[in-house]
Structure 1
């Protein structure tokens, strides 16, 4: 077993040759990437001075400042107009507060009338229903009395039939029939 450093695999091989392309960067006309950045910045500043870009930038900023001032003036005018409208609206609101109180009072009065009418209608409905119930009770009583009378008449007829059947025999019936026939001659 060979001793080795912890964390390094045993089959690791170290390269001892130097790579010729290591550390070299691409170049154009003898300048690397950093050199071309410096050249382009220098050209940019020279062109900016030659073309008077700072004056154009200053002119653009001055125009922007003037436009912003104009917008601020418009905003001040709009604010003054809004304050005037607010004052007018507050005056109208104060005037309409009295109107609102009158409207509320009228609404309460109408609501009271509606409640009174509803109570009156409810009382009428209760009275009508009570009358209808009384009429139904009276009709039921009349029906019950008629049923009782019919039952009593039926019971009386049954009792009379039973009594007649018990008291009359054929001889009694013959005498009754003879009397009836004799009475027929007198009726004419």
Structure 2
């Protein structure tokens, strides 16, 4: 016997079970409006999913906008860093030029000071040499005069040379 075989014999209980099932389904469909409720629930679920998709799209658009802003801020920051580096390099070059000028000026002052010290030392040495020469010439003249006075009368050439020596040494 086939379990799926339906017979329309009202004397069999299966017939009445089938009739009861059809009545129940009719009540559910027409009275309780089950398809409408199922469709409403499906529509609500669809609307919720659509809202979730819209929210995800809105969040994605916001994230893309934020990403674009961050990229723009990063580019601006990199530009500022490049500008700051260029300014720092230029300032370093200016400091270097200033330091070089100050060093050259200091070296020139030191050279002038050294030249003055050398000139002063030369003048002092020259004065000392002159003083030594004057002293030596005076001693020599004194000795020559003493030798001449002790041995003979004065020599007219020596007498004329003594005032000249005094004038030359002064």
| TM-score category (smaller protein) | 0.3 to 0.5
Of Structure 1 and Structure 2, the greater helix share is in 2
Q: Give the alignment's TM-score, normalised by structure 1.
A: 0.44
Q: Give the alignment's TM-score, normalised by structure 2.
A: 0.48
Answer 1 or 2: higher relative contact order, Cα 8 Å, separation at least 6.
2
